[in-house]
Chain A
Amino acid sequence: MVISNLDLEVRRGEIVALVGANASGKSTLLAALARSLAPRGGSVRLGGADVYSLGRREHARRVARLPQEPTCAAGLTVESLALLGRHPHGPPLAGPSAADHARAEAALRELRLLELRARPVESLSGGERRRAWLALVLAQDTEVLLLDEPSAGLDLRHRFELLELLRRVNRERGVTIVCALHELDDAARLADRVAVLARGQLIAFGPPRESLTPEVLLAAFGVEAALRWDDDGLSLRVTGAA
């Protein structure tokens, strides 16, 4: 999906949710923010510096990205996968240090994966696999997390735990999170601001109550919807397709 005329500024320490229909440009935007897709025009800046002026490893120490459908070699264990998050830390030619092992283990503990640490990633269920990949990006210990649909494939409990974890990581470590989400109520509960994309354009960006409106949802998803906001968040009922 090609994105054009998009100007998005994410403040340090906030959580921004990207929402939009399939092929609206969420993954493309995340790939551009992660410097794995260079823009033909314009720039992607991190703390004022163009991301391409940063070294690859330096960038990886500051920004971690979880792609939508990551894959790894057969036989790689959950623990080894988490440890790969420590790749940009320490000398590139040396093996992982004791501190790297400790950080990877902490990430596994946070995601309740310690019991599965010796299991090959391909032997896990879809949800467990998703959490194993999240352990990699948490072990990377960055100031920014770019997550492409991290809750996809998770059951209700793990989805709830994931949102809690992301909120805790954001609150306790001040990590900035940009996260593509399919579930609008998740986006409303998790994010400080929601960016709504439609056909590669940013059509709304602001606090959830301001950016998630019936008009915006009609433009983004082509559905008529009734929204009800209360203390628990957003309740959404689709009433028809445009």
Chain B
Amino acid sequence: MTLARVAALPARTWALGGGLVLAALGSLALGAAHVPLSSLVPALLDADHPFHRLVWEVRAPRIVLAALVGGALGLSGAVVQTAVRNPLADPGLLGVTAGAGLGALLCLVFAPEHAFWLPACAMLGGLAAVTPILSFASRASGVSGAARLILVGVAVNAVFGSAIALVTFFFADRAPAYVSFTIGSLNARGWREVWIAGPALVLGCLALLPLRRSLDALLLDDASAGGVGAPVRALRITACAIAAGLTGAAVSVAGLVGFVGLVVPNWLRLALGPEHARLLPACALGGALLVSIADCVARTAAAPLELPVGALLALIGGPYFLSLVLRRVH
């Protein structure tokens, strides 16, 4: 994306960016121990500052990770919804998140010394889950098609979810805690996790940039998209593979965070329209903003206890999903 195109982004996208900066500053300052805003910069830069460890080693990586995970899930949801032509599609609801979770879990259990393979394993799991969705999507259309797609997602979720439960049951000594993993949490994540998932998350986001015009062709029905020269099947597979990769990288460090990919693209599509040159940057920023705020609330609402961020997001996402379903039914 050239500088001219960045400058041409709508004001709402810039507002999301500004909101993200404010959320990051708020997250740095707020918590069980309050850090005055005036002390943030000295605490970040001065290694001897009394708040340096708290701000730089505990909160900063978590904020970066929340933004990366949220941005990736927001993008992933937008792309999956375009690829399967269904606004109800969400990596979590379709089982892609569970597939990625199983991949990550198997890596954690059987190759814990190769943590940097985590995103790749999670991506493979996500791809395994997305395959039945993809083959079904080309045959599903309309309200009943949307409902059937979600039912396929329920089945995929059930299969991968039970596999996750079995792995955490049999390898409880090596697997992460089942509840925090399946709900999703950023508790105790640091710069190591940023380095594990960050490159894959950034690469996945960058891979979508050149596809934005081609993805617009998928806003048409298959015959019309083919008529304007779009390689419909290849595009759909590529889009889902990138979405699975983004979801996998996010899940490998944050667990099965759900609903971001459903809520963010649907809200932003209403505000900005479905064209990807505007939608994708906004979804990346919107997802980052939503997870950053949710994580800040998760850390501070019941401090010193920490709530799982995934549970808070599900509180927003669940009712929203229900409202989307009811709107389609009526």
Q: Which residues of A contact B (CB under 8 A)?
A: 31, 34, 36, 56-57, 59-61, 64-67, 70-77, 80, 84-85, 87-88, 92-96, 133, 136-137, 140
Question: A36–B223 contact, CB under 8 A?
Answer: yes
Question: A85–B223 contact, CB under 8 A?
Answer: no
B229 CB contact (under 8 Å) in A59, A70, A75, A77: A59
Question: A70–B224 contact, CB under 8 A?
Answer: yes
User: Which residues of chain A come closer than 8 Å to B270, judged between CB atoms?
Assistant: 75
Q: Which residues of B contact A (CB under 8 A)?
A: 5, 82, 85, 87, 210-214, 216-217, 219-221, 223-224, 226-231, 269-270, 273-275, 277
Question: A88–B229 contact, CB under 8 A?
Answer: yes
A205 to B268, CA, bound (A): 52
CB distance from A89 to the nearest CB of B (A): 9
- Please, could you name 7 A-B residue pairs with CB atoms under 8 Å apart, sorted by A? A36-B226, A59-B229, A67-B227, A73-B219, A80-B216, A84-B216, A87-B213
> Given A72-B221, A75-B274, A87-B213, are A61 and B269 also a contact pair (CB < 8 Å)?
no
Question: A87–B269 contact, CB under 8 A?
Answer: no
Question: B229–A95 contact, CB under 8 A?
Answer: no
A140 to B230, CA, bound (A): 13
A94 to B275, CA, bound (A): 14
**Nearest residue in B to A37 (C-beta to C-beta)?**
B223
> Given A70-B220, A76-B273, A80-B275, are A57 and B229 also a contact pair (CB < 8 Å)?
yes
CB distance from B191 to the nearest CB of A (A): 34
Question: A84–B226 contact, CB under 8 A?
Answer: no
A88 to B226, CA, bound (A): 10
> A76-B273, A95-B277 given. 13 additional CB < 8 A pairs?
A31-B223, A36-B226, A56-B231, A60-B228, A65-B224, A67-B227, A72-B219, A72-B224, A73-B85, A75-B269, A84-B217, A87-B229, A95-B212
Question: A71–B229 contact, CB under 8 A?
Answer: no
User: Which residues of chain A come closer than 8 Å to B227, judged between CB atoms?
Assistant: 34, 36, 60, 64-67, 137
A65 to B226, CA, bound (A): 9
User: Which residues of chain B come closer than 8 Å to A56, judged between CB atoms?
Assistant: 226, 229-231
CB distance from B281 to the nearest CB of A (A): 13
A137 to B217, CA, bound (A): 13
CB distance from B154 to the nearest CB of A (A): 24
Question: B221–A80 contact, CB under 8 A?
Answer: no
Question: A87–B223 contact, CB under 8 A?
Answer: no
Question: B217–A71 contact, CB under 8 A?
Answer: no
User: Which residues of chain B come closer than 8 Å to A65, judged between CB atoms?
Assistant: 223-224, 227
A56 to B221, CA, bound (A): 16
A95 to B214, CA, bound (A): 9
A80 to B269, CA, bound (A): 14
**Nearest residue in A to B211 (C-beta to C-beta)?**
A93
**Nearest residue in A to B222 (C-beta to C-beta)?**
A36
Question: A72–B220 contact, CB under 8 A?
Answer: yes
